[in-house]
Amino acid sequence: MPGIRRLSVCLIVLLSAACDFLRNPAEPTVPPNVVNYTAIGASDAIGFGGSSPCLPLIVCTSGTGYVQQVAQRLQSTGKTVTLTNLGIPGAVLSPETEAIGDALGRDIFDDFLEREMPFVPRNSTLVSVFAGGNDVNTIGGGIRAGEGGSNIDAYVQGQIQKFGRDIRSLVAGIRSRAGDPRIIALNLPNLAAMPYASGLTLAEKRIVQQLSVGFSAEINALAASRVIVIDLMCDTAFYGSALISSDGFHPNDAGYTRLADLVFNAANTGSAPAPQASCAPMTAF
């Protein structure tokens, strides 16, 4: 896996260098009919689970993932669209969570803070962020392996606080790179209620639920800093099998189309319904 990690880093560096070269800071403001879209994420960003996923870190706008569909839809409105997809399958938000996964032998190739955020093109006008799913599974795996000791609740709360710190750092880093792009962040569904979690014990589901709800609350809080937050936690469409691929975790084509609907509307209008403070999925277990 180290070879794959080095390759991904090299590709990102080359991509970033090209983007920075193409933009002179002295150039005029990007015209309103131009959208420079950057996607930060993991396997969701390449459309894994759909019928036509893209390869990571290459120019691909023809896939069935939500990122690709959003780019296609923006272009269909007459805009000139450039897509930079920084999504790396298996990636988590922070180096700390990546270290937890490495200790467990999980296939975590990189993290958003070190391997994605620093390579956001400086001319980005739109940035989408989908973080937390791999983090929940990695931290949950760490707890099953003994992380947290005898006070698991305190450990989980500490991880939620770190996630909040790191997601704020991610947003600040995006803005330090690109000024004031429109940033759209998706919160998480309650992963404990997703099909892939059906085999977990009740205690394990409650930990996954606590992490999912806690991470989503930290993402929701970004709305106070002019981030458009899309509320998946309280979207009942994402609970069940209709929008989920056969692995029970990733969206299928219908799921990615649903995500594309939400992200495109937010990108096009500059707003989204405010995330709900409470809903039934938050307390499923």
Q: What are the tens digits of pLDDT across the range 150-160?
A: 999 999 999 99
Spatial distance between the Cα atoms of 95 and 111, rounded to a whole number of angstroms: 6
pLDDT at 78 over 60: yes
Compute the average pLDDT of residues 33-38.
97
Residue 34 is classified by DSSP as E
pLDDT of residue 23: 42
Domain that holds residue 170: 2-23+33-283
Average pLDDT score over the chain? 91
Spatial distance between the Cα atoms of 84 and 40, rounded to a whole number of angstroms: 9
Kindly state the percentage of the chain with pLDDT values over 90.
85
Compute the average pLDDT of residues 175-192.
98
In a domain, 192, yes or no: yes
Q: Tokens 């099953």 belong to which residue?
A: 144
pLDDT in tens, 198-252: 999 999 999 999 999 999 999 999 999 999 999 999 999 999 899 999 999 999 9
How many C-beta atoms lie closer than 10 Å to residue 79's C-beta?
17
Spatial distance between the Cα atoms of 244 and 241, rounded to a whole number of angstroms: 5
pLDDT at 2 over 90: no
Q: How many domains does the chain have?
A: 1
pLDDT of residue 239: 94
In a domain, 267, yes or no: yes
CA separation, residue 278 to residues 158, 231, 283, 284 (Å): 22, 11, 9, 12
Compute the average pLDDT of residues 184-207.
97
- Phi-psi region at 57: left, alpha or beta (left = phi > 0; alpha = psi -120 to 50): left
pLDDT in tens, 96-152: 999 999 999 987 779 999 999 999 999 999 999 999 999 999 999 999 999 999 999
pLDDT of residue 109: 73
pLDDT of residue 7: 41
In a domain, 178, yes or no: yes
pLDDT of residue 165: 98
Nearest to 219 by CA among 133, 89, 283, 131: 131
| CATH number of domain containing 211 | 3.40.50.1110
Strand order in the sheet with 126-130: 80-85, 34-40, 126-130, 182-186, 228-230
Amino acid at 266: A
Residue 111 half-sphere exposure, CB side, CA atoms within 13 Å?
21
How many C-beta atoms lie closer than 10 Å to residue 113's C-beta?
22
pLDDT at 22 over 60: no
Nearest to 127 by CA among 49, 222, 5: 222
How many C-beta atoms lie closer than 10 Å to residue 109's C-beta?
22
In a domain, 191, yes or no: yes
In a domain, 28, yes or no: no
In a domain, 162, yes or no: yes
3-state secondary structure of 36: strand
pLDDT of residue 27: 40
pLDDT at 185 over 60: yes
Confidence of residue 29 (pLDDT cuts 50, 70, 90): confident
Confidence of residue 17 (pLDDT cuts 50, 70, 90): very low
Q: Higher confidence at residue 82 or residue 31?
A: 82
DSSP per-residue codes, 212-271: HHHHHHHHHGGGGGT-EEE--TT-GGGSSSTTB-TTSSSB-HHHHHHHHHHHHHHHHHS-
In a domain, 198, yes or no: yes
Confidence of residue 5 (pLDDT cuts 50, 70, 90): very low
pLDDT at 28 over 70: no
Percentage helix, strand, coil for the chain under 3-state DSSP, each rounded to 5: 50, 10, 40
User: Both tokens of residue 80?
Assistant: 């000139």
Residue 35 is classified by DSSP as E
